[in-house]
Amino acid sequence: MSSCIEYRKVVEMKDVNEDHAPRQHWLSLMAKAPAGHVATLLDQAVTRPAFTWLRAPEVGSTMVRARAGSTGSPFNLGEVTLTRCALVLATGEVGHAYIQGRSKTDAEAVAIMDALMQTSTAATLQARVLDMLEAEQTAKRDARAAKAAATKVDFFTMVRGED
């Protein structure tokens, strides 16, 4: 029993690797971007570098899991289509992409961005692409929250004074 608990602790510690947090953040931003938007911003920011495919873009599906009320037991919600690819720049940096949908060009742009974020152009791309994506997603989230807040009803009770 104790070996099972030790294994679980090792897995949990492995899953929370602080070194990968920035990369997870920028990949998340690009995965949530509208179709074609990352490619447009990338092309405006820099010239695309030469690369070699490690895994050419391919379309597939993956199972999406959910929890009832965010706390219940996980269950299989259904499948979602995704496109994945991996490439290596001429300078040796490797870029990966997993995006929802069937756009091979979007997956290519995300993988190039991922690889370029590991080079000296990272600051430029952060300012001209990722910060813009984050601002757009924050504005969209705030607009959705404001719309939901407009429908909020506050219930209150009046004290009748009969106590």
| Residue 61 within a domain | yes
Give the whole-number percent of the chain exceeding pLDDT 70. 85
Cβ 29 vs Cβ 133: under 8 Å? yes
DSSP string, 57-117: EEEEEEEEEEEGGGTS-EEEEEEEEEEEEEEEETTS-EEEEEEESS-HHHHHHHHHHHHHT
Predicted pLDDT at 82: 95
| Residue 1 within a domain | no
| Residue 154 within a domain | no
Considering only residues 95 and 11, tell me which one the structure prediction assigns the higher pLDDT.
95
| Residue 12 within a domain | no
| Residue pLDDT, tens place only, 23-51 | 999 999 999 999 999 999 999 999 999 99
| Residue 119 within a domain | yes
| Residue 146 within a domain | no
> In this model, does residue 3 exceed pLDDT 80?
no
| Residue 151 within a domain | no
| Residue pLDDT, tens place only, 94-118 | 999 999 999 999 999 999 999 999 9
Query: How far from 57 is each of 31, 102, 117, CA to CA, in Å?
Result: 15, 9, 20
* Alpha carbon distance 75, 72 (integer Å): 9
Predicted pLDDT at 127: 94
| Residue 157 within a domain | no
Q: What is the pTM of this model?
A: 0.77
* Alpha carbon distance 110, 8 (integer Å): 33
* Alpha carbon distance 17, 23 (integer Å): 11
The number of distinct structural domains making up the chain is: 1
Task: Domain of residue 24: give its range.
Answer: 18-138
Q: To which H or E segment does residue 54 belong?
A: strand 51-67
